[in-house]
């Protein structure tokens, strides 16, 4: 009778060793094929901001072109706000009509831009509260948190801060409280109520530089966007110098 032969112990161990080597070599490749969620969301946030700002600055109902009123007979330019002369987002009368709110509502001059900006986002909060200035941090349906009360009208540049994975998550986790004195701060920021990336940069670790999740975009009164506040990594993402695929594991 013919006896069937099986694998010897040494053959099994060799096979397991080879399989282990193959798996170990494949892990980096698999990780590099994984979408980097933060990078994708940052690009999404930037281009959404760009599109919204472009649509608003060119909306004649909200920001009419008053260039003709800004030129004196001698060719010199008037200051914004003088004799019906306004530049871009400087034009900020109250009582604007917001279609999403139905009837015309009275919006304070200082809240106009943030109200209009929020109306273009798909937010979870009540838009009326944003337009009234009582809600300054909003969350979009994709989970990003937007701090929009820095969008001031007038000659000063405005800023918008975005945490792409939401409040209290990721590398730049933080704790927001309604009280004057923050409590239970978490994450890498020294001040729990601080959104500014510059403040957080002093605590940036290798992990944070790789997986940072909070960005800031500056908006000028003429509708131009800029990336400031020592955000070179964010600037690289927008310039296309950072790949969309790769490990974004949030571990030390």
pLDDT tens per residue, range 71-122: 888 888 888 777 788 888 887 666 677 777 766 667 777 788 888 899 999 9
Domain count, the chain: 1
Phi, then psi, of 124 in degrees rounded to 5 = -85, -25
pLDDT of residue 185: 40
Q: Is the pLDDT of residue 53 over 80?
A: yes
Residue 177 lies in a domain: yes
Residue 19 belongs to a domain: no
Rounded mean pLDDT of 27-37? Answer: 64
Is the pLDDT at 240 greater than 80? The verdict is yes
Reported as a single tens digit per residue, the pLDDT across 182-219 is 444 444 444 444 445 555 554 455 555 567 788 888 89
| Residue 80, pLDDT score | 78
Question: Between these two residues, 237 and 203, which has the higher pLDDT value?
Answer: 237
Is residue 45 included in any domain, yes or no? yes
What is the predicted pLDDT for the residue at 172? 63
* pTM for this prediction: 0.72
Distance (Å) of CA 40 to CA 43, 59, 186, 187, 221: 5, 29, 25, 22, 27
CB atoms within 10 A of CB 33: 10
**245, part of any domain:** no
In the chain the first and final C-alpha atoms are separated, in Å, by 61
Q: How much is the mean pLDDT over the chain?
A: 75
Question: 174 lies in which domain range?
Answer: 36-56+98-238
Beta bridge partners of 82: 85
Residue 25 located in a structural domain: no
């Amino acid at each position: 009778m013919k006896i069937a032969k099986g694998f010897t112990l040494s053959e099994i161990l060799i096979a397991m060793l080879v399989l282990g080597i193959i798996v170990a070599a494949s892990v980096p490749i698999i990780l590099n094929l994984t979408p980097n969620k933060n990078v994708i969301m940052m690009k999404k946030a930037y281009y959404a901001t760009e599109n919204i700002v472009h649509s608003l600055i060119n909306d004649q109902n909200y920001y009419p072109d008053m260039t003709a009123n800004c030129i004196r007979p001698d060719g010199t330019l008037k200051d914004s706000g003088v004799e019906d002369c306004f530049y871009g987002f400087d034009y900020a009368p109250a009582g604007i009509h917001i279609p999403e709110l139905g009837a015309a509502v009275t919006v304070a001059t200082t809240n106009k831009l943030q109200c209009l900006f929020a109306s273009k986002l798909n937010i979870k909060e009540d838009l009326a509260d944003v337009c009234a200035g009582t809600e300054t941090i909003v969350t979009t349906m994709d989970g990003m948190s937007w701090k929009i009360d820095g969008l001031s009208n007038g000659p000063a540049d405005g800023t918008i801060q975005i945490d792409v994975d939401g409040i209290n998550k990721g590398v730049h986790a933080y704790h927001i409280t309604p009280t004057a004195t923050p409590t239970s701060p978490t994450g890498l920021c020294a001040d729990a109520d601080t959104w500014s990336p510059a403040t957080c940069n002093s605590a940036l670790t290798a992990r944070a530089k790789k997986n940072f999740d909070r960005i800031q975009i500056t908006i000028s009164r003429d509708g131009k966007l800029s990336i400031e506040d020592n955000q070179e990594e964010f600037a690289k993402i927008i310039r296309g110098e950072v790949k969309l695929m790769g490990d974004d594991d949030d571990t030390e």
